[in-house]
Every structure is written in C-alpha cells, then in structure tokens.
Structure 1
Amino acid sequence: MDETGGPTGTEKGRIVVDADGTVVEVDAAAAALLGHPGGLLVGRSIADVLGSGTDGIAVVTAVGHELRSPLTSIRGYTSLLLSRWDRIGDADKQMMLGQINHDAERVTRLINELLDISRLETNRLTLTPRMVHLAELAVSVVSSIRATVPELTAEVDFPDDFPVVAADADKIEQVLTNLVENAVKYGSPLGLRIEGTVGASLDETDGSVAPDQADGMTRHVSVTVRDTGSGIEPEDLPRVFNRWFQRKQGRPSGSGLGLWISRGLVEAHGGRLTVESPDGEGAAFTFTLPLPGP
C-alpha cells in the first residue's frame, strides 16, 4: 500500500474461487487492487470481479482460469496412459485420447481468443480469406461439440444453392462454435437450428451506392443459430455482446468474452452479429457476411 492506502503496483492479491468460477474469498490486497471492498466481490463470478479491475490483467486471468480445466484433464489422462498403458483396455485408451484431443483443441481456441482480444483492440486482426462452404462448416461444428455434449440435437438447414463466401474459415468456425456452445449453455442442447439464407440490405456504412450496386443494396448471406430455451431477459439483450457479460439463467461459465470476440470477428469481415429473443421463444443469434457484387 502507498501512504494513501492505495495499491503500490507491486503487491499481489489472493482470490479464491470454487469449481463454478464463483468468488468465495478475497484478501485485502486483492480488494485494494480491484478497488472494491472484498465483501462486495464474494459471490460474484471471477470474470465479473476481474472485469472491475485493470482490463489487461482481467483478460489474462480470466482466460488463464479457463485454461486450467482442460490442461488438468490433459495432464491427468496422459499421466495415466504413460504409467498404466498395458493395463488399460483399448476402448478406455480411445476414450482418453479422444478427450485429450478435445481438451487440446479447447486450449488452442482459448489461446486464439486471447490473441484475438489484443488484435481486435488494436485493429491489427489479420484475416486469411478463402472460399468457405458455411453449411459444411456448421455440420463440422455441431459434430465437434456433440463429442462432449452427446445429447445435442441440431438441424442444419441451408438452401442447395447457398453460395460459398470469401472468409477466414478459422475465424468463422470460432464464431459458429461460440454461438452453438452459447445456445447449449444458456438454452437447451435439444432442437437447435442453424439456418442459412441469402439476402440484401441497404448499405448502412455511409449511405453510398457502389458502382456495381445501382439499386443501393448490398448482397449478403445470413447464418442464424436458434435455440429452444427460455430466451434472454429483455434487460439483458442490450448487454449480451458486452465484454465480461454473463447471463444468470442457464449454466453460466467461461470468461464472458465469447460473444464480444465473435462480434468483433464478424465485423472484421464486414458483417454484423445481432440477437433476437421473442418472449418465450428462445434466442436467435444471426451473423451476416457480404457477398461480392454481380
């Protein structure tokens, strides 16, 4: 502490969280660093608490918290396989290796999200576009998530003549994964729909008309992830894309950064990410990607 009672910048605080990521203890040093009494921080999510302090520290710590679970799983399974390989049946080996592979993919995704946060904030995000079949990508995402959520049922509905788009496949896969996982987490794993449509809209950037778009319309594809849950509370709708925001209903977990990152990735492609939630009809997240003019 300095003479005014504030943090000096060299102190380290201690925050204890439970398995659900809820803060159960905050020491005086951590409370001073975050600028809030410890009693007000207990019972809140770690992402929410860290979001009340320095953003850079909060981002790294929140993502680090998310990394702990898959890394612990990877270490546990690899240690077990190395020490008892001859005594483990083939079916169990396959299950363990499959879980290691899934957890490794999760770690990779979390690290990429951490890097994306920095790149989005500094406008240095680099895209590697190629022609992407969004319907095939959606099927792949559902299959990947079903490996850990076996009860997941999802219908992928795209027209036969749905166009391919020029996009960074890895970034769009990240967006789709975030949206489907979000639907499972806060809605229901049953009855999901991923729908693709082609449309046109007025250019909302500056009202100008491109030379090859004399009618003033820009063509785009839309992809909607629709769940069958209870929907999003009206007061939460304006905040779902805010950094650190987590809805209270469902099974909240994670860093509270997924939707914020997803919107940034879509906007970097020149598209938009929006949400609708009619009362009692679940939530529908839709992103658009532009198509070239005729």
Structure 2
Amino acid sequence: MSIIITSFICYIISDYLGYKSIALVLLLIVSLLAIVFDFASVLIAAILSALIWDYFFIPPHYTLHVDTTEDALMLIMYFIIALVNGVLTTKIRKIEKITQLKEEKLKSIKLYNTLLDSISHELRTPISSIYGSTDNLLNNQKNLTEENKVNLITEIHKASERLNRLVGNLLNISRLESGNIKIKKDWCNVNELISVVISSLEQELKKHKVEILIDEQFPLLKLDYGLIEQVVINIIYNASIYTAENTTIKCEIKIENYNFIILISDNGCGISEDEIGKIFDKFYRIKRTSTNGNGLGLSIAKGFIEAHNGKIKAFNNELKGLSFEIRIPLISNEIMNLNTIKNEQ
C-alpha cells in the first residue's frame, strides 16, 4: 500500500521529477519497509516498486519494455539494491533480536542467582532457629522450666511465620513475573482488614507504637482483599524491622476524590533520596542496615497496587521518617456507605 500511494504521488509530480529521482524515492520507501516488515514483504515491495517504476516512469511509458541499455541496467541495479537492502535490514533485526534474547537470558540468570543467594540466606536463619529449639525441647525436657518451654515454642512459631512469609513472597513475585495476577474484587471491610494486619504482625509490633487513623463508619470498598492485605502487611512489616524500638508506626486511611488512600508512616531515620527511587526494585535492600530481608516485600506491594491501577510512592516525612502513600482509583459503584446498608436493613 505504501508503494502504491508513493507511486501515485510521484506520478502526479513526475513532470517535475525525473524518473531517476523517482527511483530514489521508491528505494527509500522499500528501505523503510524493511525496518518494519519481514523479508517476504520486503521482497514483494521490491518487485512491485521495480515493475511500477518500469511501467509508469521509464520511457517508453505504459510498457515493461526498456529502450536503452542504461535504463535496463538501472532497473536491474534498482531491484538488486532494494533486495540487498531488505536482506541486510532483516539480518540486522534478527541480530538485534538475538542480542536482546541473550541480554534477557543473562538478566534471568543473574536474577535467578540473586534469588538463590537471597533464599539460601533467608531460609538458613529460621530453619536453624526451628532446629535448635526443637532439639532443645526433645533432648533437654527435664532441665527446662515451663517458661523455657514457652520461649522455645515462641521461637519456633516466629521462625515458622518468617518461613511462611518468605514462601508467600516468593510465590507472589513468581505470579507477578509471569503476569498471573488476576484481581478478584469484592466488598471489603477496610477496618477489618487493618485489624487482621495488625493482629498478624503482633510479634513484630510489640516494641513499637501503632496508630491507626480510620473512621469507624469507613465505607465498604470493592477491592481484592487478599492483595491489599498483603500490601499493608509488607509495608508495616518493613517499618517494624527497619526502625528502632519505641518508634511510632502510623497508618492513616481515607477517601479523597474517589481515591482510596493508605498512608503508612514512621518516625525513624528515613532513607536517602537516591534509595527512594530504588526501594521498589526486586532484591533491593537499604545499604546502611544489617536487618535480614530478601528485598521482595516492596516490589510485591508495588505490583499488587499497580494491578489495581493504583500508584505507590515513598518519601521522607516531616518527622524525618519514611512514609508510603498508596492511591487506588475507585468508581462510584465501588464505594458503599455503611449507613446506606443500615437503612436498607
């Protein structure tokens, strides 16, 4: 189609352009087509443009016969140049594709090695804790007080939760990488969701002050409960392990202009501006901390929020700590006021 349109335009202005100049125009179009289309399409374009140039532009017009040897050689050279150009461009595209695949493969290998190193390190600590505690319970029962036994069982429970969190994060990052995240929206009680999150992080939050700012009559929202719960867990868990004891973790929840907003803040020491742009990257961990972690939590949180067509950002707050703001757009039929439900009942 491009060849035909170009030929038509050239035919209209052929009185101002010599047929040799028109050959260059058609050759340019074939070259541009070679960048986009495969070799077969370029071959057809080269043959078609050569025939059109011969029939309509090379004297004598409206015949495939060529009078002069010079014009015949030009026609042959035109076709050869168009064909070679198409072949070379196609090969270049193939080489670029192979190079890209190699880069992606190297990236995958690097990601796999990083994941393997992270997992092996992360698994070692809770497994050692479980092994040590169970060994002590089995082989030293007579010398253990009830308090000792409770402490050991608590250690096993904490290590098991850590393992469960690690496995959950690995499964979630796998789902995000494969594009298998499917949003299942249903009516969600946000007050209940936050209560479940705080309850599940009871051990981690023991030495922190927690403030929850949410209206008791906060409306029901249509969200994927499981994904949003995991997002809030990951962010609050990070705040609990990366801030000092007795720091405050505040979670403020509101709706503004049909946006569901979750603001999670702490009054720790914040992070550098350079790191703010990196903390949502897979496996990234803040350099100045020795806290254990695999660097997956915030990456997963970002993926889950984006699956809701929302946005998440991090910034240093007025208290010199770190804040995370989540914004999820809603439409009117995804918000249900609790008073409306009571009136209907």
Output the CA distance in 1 between the equivalents of 2:137 and 2:186. Answer: 39
**Match of residue 195 from structure 1:** 252
Work out whether 1:293 is the aligned partner of 2:332.
Answer: yes
CA contact (8 A) 2:133 2:152 kept: yes
- Aligned runs of 1:66-215 on 2, under 5 Å? 66-127=122-183, 129-189=185-245, 190-200=247-257
Specify the alignment match of 1:275 in structure 2. Answer: 314
What CA deviation, in whole Å up to 9, does each residue of 1:239-271 have, x standing for no partner?
Answer: 221222222344443112221111112222332
Which of 224, 227, 237 is matched with 2:276 structurally?
237
What is the rounded CA distance, in whole Å, between the counterparts of 2:323 and 2:205 in structure 1?
A: 20
The count of residues paired between Structure 1 and Structure 2 equals 226
Alignment-mate amino acid for residue 160 of structure 2: A
- The structure-2 alpha-carbon separation of the partners of 1:192 and 1:267, relative to structure 1 and needing over 3 Å to count, comes to same
Q: Which consecutive unaligned segments of at least 5 residues does structure 2 have?
A: 1-106, 334-345
Q: Identify which range, 119-128 or 73-82, moves more after superposition.
A: 119-128
Q: Determine helix, strand or coil for the equivalent of 2:250.
A: strand
Matched residues in 2 for 1:171 and 1:63: separation?
Answer: 22
1:48-59 correspondence runs (5 A):
54-59=110-115
Q: 1:251 to 1:279 in 2, by over 3 A?
A: farther
Q: What residue identity is the alignment partner of 1:271?
A: G
Measure the CA separation in 2 of the matches of 1:52 and 1:247. Answer: 23
Cα deviation for residue 185 of structure 1 reads 3.3
CA distance in 2, matches of 1:226, 1:134: 18
Equivalent residue runs for 1:54-65 within 5 Å: 54-65=110-121
Q: Compared with structure 1, are the counterparts of its residues 82 and 126 closer, same or farther at alpha carbon in structure 2 (3 Å cutoff)?
A: farther
Match status 1:265 vs 2:304: yes
Q: Which residue is equivalent to 1:30?
A: none
Aligned-pair Cα RMSD in Å? 2.6
How many percent identity over aligned positions?
A: 28
3-state SS of 2:286 partner: coil
Contact 2:122 2:292 (8 Å CA) reproduced: no
Q: Which amino acid aligns with 1:108?
A: N
Residue 132 of structure 1, CA deviation: 3.3
Taking the aligned partners of 2:114 and 2:287, their CA distance within structure 1 comes to: 20
Amino acid at match of 1:245: Y
3-state SS in 2 of match to 1:236: helix
Give the TM-score taking structure 2 as reference length.
0.58
In structure 2, the CA distance between the partners of 1:258 and 1:165, relative to structure 1 (3 Å rule), is: same
Matched AA of 1:225: I
Structure 1 unaligned segments of length 5 or more: list them.
Answer: 1-50, 201-218
2: CA distance between counterparts of 1:122 and 1:116? 10
**Distance in 2 between the 1:186 and 1:102 partners?**
17
Deviations 1:124-153 (A, max 9, x none): 124555443333333343344341453111
Contact 1:135 1:156 in 2 (8 A): no
Contact 1:60–1:114 (CA under 8 A) maintained in structure 2 = no
For the residues of structure 1 that align with 2:291 and 2:237, how far apart are their CA atoms? 11
What secondary structure, in the 3-state scheme, does the structure 1 residue paired with 2:201 have? helix
